[in-house]
Structures are given as structure tokens and as C-alpha cells.
Structure 1
Amino acid sequence: MFLNLNKLRLSDTVVTKRSQNLTINIENKSQQGYSGSLGTLNIHAEETAESKTTVEFVFRCTNLENKDVFSKSDPFLKISRNAESGVTIPICKTEVIHNNLNPTWQPVCLTMLQLDNPLIIECLDFDISGKHELIGCLQAMIHICTSKVQRSMSDLKNLHKEKAGANFVATHHGRNKVLNGELFVDMYREKPTYSFLDYLSSGFELNFMVAVDFTSSNGNPKKPHSLHYIDPSGHLNAYQRAILEAGEVLQFYDSDKRFPAWGFGGRTPDGNVSYCFNLNLSPHESEVNGVEGIMAAYTYSLQNVALAGPTLVGKVIDKASQIAAKSVSQNSYKYHVLLLITDGVLTDLQETIDALVKASDLPLSILIVGVGNADFTEMEANS
């Protein structure tokens, strides 16, 4: 499958259109030639201004209309905004809460750029077929456009401040009917967000950390087919290459060149499977000296740790987050980069996502490097 752009640069093609809209045919290409259309891709471009502020919301609903016969609705919120051209652009969806007419969703973070235009907030009943049924839109504070209600950011801020609810409406036979269901904003918080370059330009040093997968799916380290095989000829395995390539770049931004290094998913010399053990097997100290120290600790662990499993990385991320949080509390100018190397799909995917969300406000980046032939599609989709 490919997008036929007639060899033109996509950005130039879109922005030079008078409406800044472009529709592209998606075609299937085989060795014998084209074998039919797979649909179209609609692209809209607009100019935006830079903003480093994000807004965190917690949404809650009460008395939603039940759309199911034998159970209760499975509601989620869909938030969209209108572009200057009038095109509706989805920007966010909450998670689905099953069998609940009074749901409270996990926090939603939106940038000021996303909130620049009036919002369209819809509550839908999830259907596994993808044909979600509209429960309702918010009652108009500004105006109703077709069947959708637009809310500005200030409206949502006022809902939180006044602890008030906004009624949903539904369209029946061309008329808008006010429903009993209400939406509440339980939390509204504006906070600055900083990029990696912001930290570096402000004088932060980098602190490199690494975590290595010691699960049995890597194969017996004594066998040449193993991802952990130490080749006597000196040829580096996949883990050694990842450590060396990332470490050689990042170490120049760290003045003391002492790097925390851990392993996870291995059976340590005490007989227990650990999901965050010091790579040098020290009972107290995880830091090693330089990239050479990481490589030496990795080799030492391979000689003394039995591969086990499953692949759980939540504890490693929590450990890295603790170090980053400590540096913030001590006002030290450190930006932390955790290199997490694994050969397979994470077993604790939801725990990992939760740990990443908790760490999102810290000066911490996490690089997940996949080695071997495992399918990392699910990890990429949820990163």
C-alpha cells in the first residue's frame, strides 16, 4: 500500500491549496500493478502558534441515557475542535468505561494549540463494531452547530470553578432535546510543558540510565542464536550495540559519567526473580563508571543471573522516576534518559502505561529499543 503523491512534497502540496485541504487516493500496489483503491485520505493544514502550556482535565458524567437493552451503556467522550476552515478535527478520546451511567474518566491532557478553537464534546456508547451510538452533546453555552455543541476552554474552566454540570442534548426529529445527563469538570489545571531541547538550553546535564531484559525468551546466552550471546571474536550482540551506540552519544552531556544500570526479568544469585536489580549485582549501588562500566556489568550479570521472566518493566520505570523526582526536589539541573532494551512485548502493558503517565511531568525521557524478531506493534501503538 502506498500514497500516490505524484512525487510532490506533501507539505508544499497542502499549504499551497487555497482551502489548505487535500484528498489523496490510497491505492494497493502489487507486482502486477494496481489492484484497486483502498479509499481516500483527507489532509487539512493550518498555521499554529507555539505554546508550552497544557491543560489537564478530569471529566465526570452523571445520569447518562442508557443505550443498551440488557446492560448499561459503555460511555466514552470524544473531543473535537473546529479548524478555521470549518473542518472538524478529532483531538482526543477518553477510555471506555463499561456498564456505567455515572463514569469518571482518567485525566485528559490537551495543549493550548488544541484548545485554541471552540471544542465539540460528544458522549458515545462504545460498540465493538465501531458503530458507536451518540448518547448526547453538551447543552449549548455558545451555540449549536448542526447536532454538535461547541464549548470554549473558558466554559470548561468555569464549570470546574463553579462545580456546576452542563446538560447533554440530543437531536430528535430536527429538534434539540435537553437530557438528564450532565458533564462535570472535576479538575482543571494549567501547567507548562518543556521539551528535551528546553532542558538542554537551560543548562541541564543529561543523566544516562539503562535497563536490560533478562527474560528467557532471549535464548540461552551460551548458544550463538541467543540475543545475549557473547561472541569470543568480539562481535557485539544486539544489547551491547544498543548500549554502546546510545551511551557514546549521551555520555558527553554528563559530567560525572556515572550511570545507573539495571536488569529485569532475571533470577538473581539469591534465587528470586527480580524486575529491577542492579546490573553490577551490588546490593546497594546501581551506578557504574561510564559506558565501559555498563558493558562490564552487563557481562558480569550474564555470568551470574539466570534468564527467567515474564517481561515486566513497570518497576524499572518507577525506579527511574524516583531518581528524576529526587533531582527535582534537590533543585539539581539533571535531565534523565532511560534506555530500556527488550526483546519482546511487555506483559505488564497497562502498568507500564500508568508508570509512563506518572512520570510525564518529570525531566525524564524513556527510549524503548526492541531487539530480535518479536512483534512490537502493540508497544508502539500504546507508547
Structure 2
Amino acid sequence: MGSCCSDMSGGMDAVGGMDVLNLDKDTETAVPSDFLSGTRGVPADVQVQLWISASKLRDKDFLSKSDPLAVAFIRKDGVLEEVGRTEVVSNTLNPSWVTDIKVSYSFQDIQQLLFRVYDIDTKYAGVNPQELPLEEQDFLGEMTCLLAEVVAAPGQSFSRLLQDKVDGGTDKTGVKSMGTLTIKAEEMQHSKSIVELVLRCSDLNNKDFFSKSDPFLRLSRLREDGSSVPVYKSEVKKNNLHPTWKLVRTTLQQLNNGNMDRPLVVECFNYNGNGRHDLIGSTQVSLNELQASAGGTVSFELKRPSDNQAGGKLHVEGCRISSGHSFLDYLRGGCQLSFMVAVDFTASNGNPHQQDSLHYLDPSGKPNSYEIAIESVGEVLYHYDYDKLFAAWGFGGKPMNSPVSHCFNLNGHSAEVDGVDGILRAYSQALKSVALAGPTLFAPVVNMASSIASEYISQEKQKYFVLLIITDGVITDLHQTINAIVNAASLPLSILIVGVGGADFTEMEVLDADKRKLQSSDGRLAERDIVQFVPLRDMGNKTNLRRTMLAELPTQLLEFMRSRSIVPNLNLR
């Protein structure tokens, strides 16, 4: 998790793994590399269709009812961008528009939508809705929401009262007489299509002097502007000029945005430990071409970049495209994400009353590092939990009239608090009553989270838990923590660790398990890679932190559900 960079530096192991229907019984499975922001690649957004309806709209016409049109906007960098319009429905106050609005859904982003409803003047009857001048139409009301609120709503159907605009803004009190807008979401089918590929190469050029090349593949999708985005990296095959790699399992959306004719860039590299890998050869080929050549004698020539001469041949041993359950399917079936937080109260954070303390609460309201981490993750996960009650713990501190505890309730009496604001309030209050102590132990809070998550391993009770641990230093119970994480890997749980301050976080990279699976003291390997670690100092801003921490969660949820043969409860919705 989290370190398969687009420049391909470091790491020889395949990324992750999951149970799939193999194309061949002896075929092992690999999964796509990390789709993170910055240097780690770009996640493919999921394409979603939105259907809009309204009820009890205001009547703006004298001799008939309104002729309503809905317009959808998305806010990007503070600027509203129109994303679509419905058709005009004549003479009704309760329209159900049939023209859908298509938007891209990104789990780790805050995507604010705005919907405005207009009554179209009769003189524009028959005019293409896309050409209607909105400033000349009667405004019937507007509604704002987050795309996450829509896709996370029960049955992915979300309703809210329309409001009036006041001095260019929105009247937050709402006006019931303006009616209600309902948004229903559905994932587009190609976003859910699963692609399985088995690729091999033959007659590769040898790039090593004393042995044979150590090849691996990188697949990238071409964007509309001609640039490419890495979407998959294979494992490395040592000392092999005729390698066959593990089965690739990804989505059609991830590979080519649903366009079977869009070329993929396939590159074969020779692995070097210093990160400067040699490009053996590359080719561009569409998924249609790969599928047509599967299992046959057709091969694709890999060209050397230096002289455009042959560097080897690419073969497709198998290619299958099928439908599978998606992250949004589980949400639509009622699966929830539950947020948990554990805050480091060890003395190394410094006196909370001093400005150089990591726990210092600035009177001006400027958030400290702990608050930034809580807000960044919480503002996304908040919308995926129906009751908004989140567990909030501290560790390494000494609560009032108690010994040092490595898992105590932040609010002093119960583990759960109300929403992200409740976590922040409990944290602020705890700083007044909990003495900083130590040492830094993770295992107790991981075990506590695991005990809660263990109650939700069934078809009927679908909930996935996300534990955020925020710490300023190196843990002193590494082996116990590894044991706890190995146990947690078989549960519906992911662990996010944010390092704050300037400490050496090298040991945290061990927990992240990018290079190899974690192994417990009794020899058990972790079923899944569930830990994501980042130092806050490397993130730059809240947006980068949020994207880096959360980009892998949908995949981790799917891995767990598939490993337990748990399917979405769509028949119950």
C-alpha cells in the first residue's frame, strides 16, 4: 500500500492480492498498483448517473403550472462548473426528469454539488435546454449537497428542501414552500466491469552482465491530452527472459475509462535496486486487441526506445471481462464506514500549554497537527455512517485519578462521540484532564478496534471500520503491534497512521507492509495489507493528506468482502 510510485522506484514485490476466478488453476493473482495522487499515480474516478425529481415546486405561472428545468453544478477550486441540464417538463410542480446527469465520483475528495431549478418561459418552448439563457428564466430554488451524501444514502436516494438565494448566497434556513429535490445515483456499468489478464513476454533483451534481466511490467492508460497515467505494476521475475506474470485483476474503468479501443501503454523494465530501472521495450495496444489475441499465436513487439529495434515480444495468455460487485454496490446495499480515532498522549508531544507543543490549541482557532489529521479524514468518512457516532480514544496518557492508560475514552465516560466536531471537542477537553505520559503503544487500541470490528463479519451486518492513529513518535511495542495487525487483517478494518512532528518514523514503514506481508510472532501472514502510514510533514496540505490516506479504502473494503464471500444486500434496498 501507498508506495508504488509512478517513477517505479523501489520495491520488488507485487502489489497486494485477492481471491479471483483464475483463468488458469495455476495462475497467481496480482492487483493494480496504488492509484494515489502526486507521484503515486491517479485514481480512476467512478462514473455515476444522477436522476433528479422534485415535489411541490412553487407555481410561477398564472394560467398553468410551472415548466421546470434542473441544472447541476459542481464546485471546483471554489468555482461553480455546470455539469448538465435536464429536459424541460411542461405544466407540473412534481417533475421527474428523464435526462440523467453524469458526474465522476472520487471517494477521497470533497465534491460539492449545486442543483438549481428554473421555470422556463413559454417563449422558449422547443429551444434546446443547453441553449436556454438561465438569467431570463424564473428561479424556483436551489439545493446543495455533497456527492458523498448521495452515494452513501440508503438506496443511494437523497432528498433535501429547496432554498432561495439571498444576495447571491443561499438562505440556510430553508423555505418549505419551495419544494423538495430528490437525487438518485447509479454507477455506470463499465465502472463495475472486471478485467482479468495473464501476460507473458518472450525473447527479452538481456540488460544484466552476470545474469539475466529481472523484468516487470507497467501498464498505463492514455489520457485525452496524450499523456499517460500508470495504472498497474507487476511483480518482478528474477533472472528470466521469458517471464509469465501473475494474473492482473482490475476494472475496465481503471484501464481505459470504458473505451475498449483506447490504447494502453505496456512497458517492460529490468529491475534495478537503485530505482533506475532499464526500459527493455514498450508498445501501445488496446484492450480489444489484447482480448482478440488471447491464447493465440499473435504477439506484440516491444520496441527499444533507443533505436526502435525489438526488445522482446508480449503475449496474452488469457483475457476475461466480467461483471463484479463494486464499492458503490455495497454502499447501496446499506454497508457503512465507521470512523475511529486514537490520539497520542505521550510526553514527547510537549506541554500542551506551550506554543511549541504538538498539542497546543491556538486561541486564534488555527488547528494543530492532530486536529488537521482528524478533520482531513473525518470530513470524508462522516457521510458514510448513518448515526454519525464515532469511537475516540487516547493512548499513552494518564487520565485524572487513574494510572497510565494505552486505550482510554477521550470524553472520559463513553467511547463514542457525536460526529467529527464531537471528536475535536473530546480531544480538547482531554488535554485539560489527561497528563501526558508514555510509552507509545499501538497494540491496545488496535486490539480494541478489532474487538468491535469482529462483530461485523456476516452477510447481514455489513460495516467496515477505519481506525486513524495519530502519533508523534516511534512505537515501543512493535512486535505486539504487528501481531495485532495480523489479527486485524482478517476483520473489516483498515488502519491509517499519521505521524506528526519531526520524529524518525522508519519503523512505521514496516507496519505499512509495502515490501512484504506482515508476519506475526507465531508465523502467520497477514491476510490483507490494511495499514497506510504517512508523515504529515510530507503532505503539504489537507487535500493531499486526505487523498493519500483514503484512496485505497474502497479496494480494501472490496478485498475483505470478497475474501468472506459477502455480497451487497441489494435485494433489501
TM-score by length of 2: 0.38
Q: Distance in 2 between matches of 1:234 and 1:228?
A: 13
1:1-383 matches, within 5 Å, as 51-53=190-192, 55=194, 57=196, 61=200, 64-81=204-221, 87=226, 89-94=228-233, 97=236, 99-101=238-240, 102=243, 104=245, 109-112=250-253, 114-115=255-256, 116=259, 117-126=262-271, 132-136=277-281, 148=283, 150-152=285-287, 155=290, 159=294, 169-171=301-303, 191-195=324-328, 207-214=338-345, 218-221=349-352, 223-229=354-360, 239=370, 258-263=389-394, 266=396, 277-280=406-409, 287-290=415-418, 292=422, 295-296=425-426, 303=434, 306-309=437-440, 316=446, 327=456, 329-332=458-461, 334=463, 336=465, 338-341=467-470, 342=498, 343-344=500-501, 347=506, 348-349=508-509, 351-352=511-512, 358=528, 374-376=537-539, 383=549
Deviation at 1:119, TM superposition (A): 3.1
Residues 50 and 349 from structure 1, CA distance in 2 versus in 1: closer, same or farther, beyond 3 angstroms?
farther
**What is the alpha-carbon distance in structure 2 between the residues aligned to residue 204 and residue 78 of structure 1?**
34
- 8 Å CA contact retained: 1:79, 1:91: yes
- Tell me, yes or no, if the aligned pair for 1:124 and 1:132 is still in contact at 8 Å: yes
**Cα shift at 1:207:** 3.0
Single out whichever of 114-123 and 216-225 deviates more from structure 2: 216-225
What letter matches 1:375 in structure 2? D
Larger RCO, structure (CA 8 Å, separation 6 or more): 2
Deviations 1:193-250 (A, max 9, x none): 335xx77666565633223244665334464421224789999855357658987997
2:211–2:239 CA contact under 8 A, matched in 1: no
Distance in 2 (alpha carbons) for counterparts of 1:238 and 1:216: 16
- Deviation for aligned residue 1:94: 1.0
Quick check: which one's strand share is greater? Answer: 1
The answer for unaligned runs of 5 or more in structure 2 is 1-78, 83-187, 471-497, 518-526, 550-573
User: 1:56·1:110 contact (CA, 8 Å) conserved in 2?
Assistant: yes
1:51 shift after superposition: 3.6
Distance in 2 of aligned mates of 1:92 and 1:249:
24
Q: Distance in 1 between matches of 2:200 and 2:457?
A: 36
Q: Secondary structure at the match of 1:70?
A: coil
Q: Is the 8 A contact 1:209 1:261 kept in 2?
A: yes
Q: For 1:150, what is the secondary structure of its paired residue?
A: strand
SS of the aligned residue for 2:301 comes to: strand
* 1:124-172, Cα deviation, whole Å (9 max, x unpaired): 22468987544345xxxxxxxxxx252526845985xx6x898663458
Q: In 2, are the aligned partners of 1:76 and 1:126 still within 8 Å (CA)?
A: yes
Secondary structure of the residue aligned to 1:114 is helix
Q: 1:57 to 1:257 in 2, by over 3 A?
A: same
Corresponding pairs, count: 304
Q: Write the distance in 2 (CA, Å) between the matches of 1:66 and 1:300.
A: 62
Where 1:349 maps in the other structure, the secondary structure is helix
Please tell me whether the aligned partners of residues 74 and 126 of structure 1 are also in contact (alpha carbons under 8 angstroms): yes
Verify the 8 A CA contact 2:220 2:266 in the aligned structure 1: yes
Deviation at 1:114, TM superposition (A): 2.9
- TM-score normalised by length of structure 1: 0.51
Contact 1:243 1:295 in 2 (8 A): no
Q: Distance in 1 between matches of 2:280 and 2:376?
A: 52
Partner Cα distance (1:304, 1:248) in 2 = 28
Q: Which residue of 2 aligns with 1:30?
A: none
Equivalent position amino acid for 1:278 in 2: C
Instruction: Tell me what 1:16 maps to.
Output: none
What residue in structure 1 maps to residue 12 of structure 2? none
Report the AA paired with residue 324 of structure 2.
K
C-alpha distance in 2 between matches for 1:136 and 1:245: 41
In the TM superposition, what is the alpha-carbon distance from 1:91 to its structure 2 partner?
3.7
Q: Secondary structure at the match of 1:66?
A: coil
| 8 A Cα contact 1:262 1:286, kept in partner | no
